[in-house]
Structure 1
Amino acid sequence: MIVAFLNQKGGVGKTTLALHLAGQWAITGKRVLLIDADPQGSALDWAQERASQGLPRLFSVVGLARDTLHHEAPELARSVDHVVIDGPPRVAGLLRSALLAADLVLLPVQPSPLDGWASAEMLTLLDQARIFKPAIAARFILNRYPARTLIGRATADNLADHDPPLLPAHVGQRVIFADALRTGRLASEMDSGSIAAREISELAQQVESLLP
């Protein structure tokens, strides 16, 4: 199945979440392919850093930052259990192609009004994509979530009855994620008992439960 992390706003943590979801599934024995559809190529950089350090490859990462993604991704999905797409910010043709490729769209948002406005634009694109592919499922996911702050709780409350729904799993603002991204590792490899590792494990289980 194909899961795409998409949001028109950059900096919401799409790459971190995509890499960690792919890694968590790989650790549990799934065959996973990550498609880096962001022209910046951050996921490819992560994979190259990992290889340069001699770390084992958990899953394959390929770059497909082009608007034929919706044709190519289903073909690639035939040879694996899951495909994870790290989507682009504000590249209209490529973003639409990633939407049409996906079985499930995950919309990362941070506790910020600016993220809410960008998500509104993203939902319009999602509605347009459903004209051609009605079965696309979607969920919001709160990332870098400061649970004890007013804005964090307000964002969660505002999305609680939203369509698409909010995933119950929240991912917090944790330094270990930045360190993992920089060093070609996963949070669970750096500290398997960390809160971050538990959050990603819960996220992976909830996402898989949504897949057909």
Structure 2
Amino acid sequence: MIVALLNQKGGVGKTTLALHLAGEWARQGQRVTLIDADPQGSALDWSQQREHERLARLFGVIGLARDTLHREAPELARTANHVVIDGPPRVAGLMRSALMAADLVLIPVQPSPLDGWASAEMLALLKEARIYRPNLAARFVLNRCAARTIIARETANGLADHDPPVLGATIGQRIVFAAAAQSGQLVQELDPDGPAAREIARLAEDITSLAAGRDRHG
């Protein structure tokens, strides 16, 4: 399965979610490759930091910030259970290529009024991709949610009947994610029994269930 985390708005947590999703599957014993398709190369930086700290490699990270992703990602998927694409902000050609490569598109958004999360440009690109790939699955993912806030509930309710819909799993606003990024680690390593690790496990579980459902009915 090829999962792409995409949103033309920067700073919504695409890299954090991509790394932790890849790490969760790797910790389950699955073969995972992460494609860093962001010209900023944050996932590659994390991988290099991990190597510098002499930590065990969990999954491969490859830099492919070019618009041939739709040809190269399926080749990588032949030797992996999962390929995770950390997408670019505001690079339309790269975004289109990632959309054409993916089996599932995750659109991370932060709790905000509806005009904050609704990236018209991102949704237009998704609609365009579905002309060629009508079965392309997509979900919003609520990220950096402060616990029990009204705005988080309002955002979730606003997305409930939306296309694409919102994934059930949500990720909280937690300092441990920043600590993990700086040390080349994952929250599952820093605090394996903590709430952040549980949320990432739930995210991976929801995606796996979604893919299994599509396999049964697709």
| Cα shift readout 1:30-66 (whole Å, capped 9, x = no counterpart) | 1000000000000000000000000000000000000
Q: Which residue of 2 aligns with 1:189?
A: 189
* 1:24-173 correspondence to structure 2 within 5 Å: 24-113=24-113, 115-118=116-119, 120-173=120-173
State the secondary structure of the residue aligned to 2:173.
Answer: coil
Is 2:206 the counterpart of 1:206?
A: yes
The one-letter amino acid of 1:194's match is G
State the secondary structure of the residue aligned to 2:118.
Answer: helix
Within 2, Cα distance between the matches of 1:12 and 1:99? Answer: 18
Contiguous gaps of at least 5 residues in structure 2: none
| Cα shift readout 1:93-124 (whole Å, capped 9, x = no counterpart) | 00000000000000000012364232x32111
State the secondary structure of the residue aligned to 2:3.
Answer: strand
Within 2, Cα distance between the matches of 1:140 and 1:156? Answer: 10
Within 2, Cα distance between the matches of 1:207 and 1:115? Answer: 25
* 1:15-26 correspondence to structure 2 within 5 Å: 15-26=15-26
State the secondary structure of the residue aligned to 1:144.
Answer: coil
Which 4+ residue blocks in structure 1 deviate beyond 6 angstroms?
none
8 A Cα contact 1:9 1:115, kept in partner: no
8 A Cα contact 1:21 1:200, kept in partner: yes
**Compared CA separation, residues 158 and 19, structure 1 to 2 (3 A):** same
**Compared CA separation, residues 67 and 198, structure 1 to 2 (3 A):** same
Offset at 1:25? 0.2
8 A Cα contact 1:37 1:64, kept in partner: yes
Offset at 1:87? 0.2
State the secondary structure of the residue aligned to 1:8.
Answer: coil
The one-letter amino acid of 1:36's match is D
Within 2, Cα distance between the matches of 1:197 and 1:5? Answer: 19
% same residue? 68
Contiguous gaps of at least 5 residues in structure 1: none
Within 2, Cα distance between the matches of 1:177 and 1:58? Answer: 17
The one-letter amino acid of 1:171's match is I
Q: Which residue of 1 aligns with 2:8?
A: 8
Within 1, Cα distance between the matches of 2:11 and 2:210? Answer: 25
RMSD: 0.9
Offset at 1:209? 1.2
Within 2, Cα distance between the matches of 1:64 and 1:38? Answer: 8
State the secondary structure of the residue aligned to 1:111.
Answer: coil
Compare 198-207 and 107-116 and name the one that shifted more: 107-116
Within 2, Cα distance between the matches of 1:98 and 1:77? Answer: 14
Offset at 1:147? 3.1
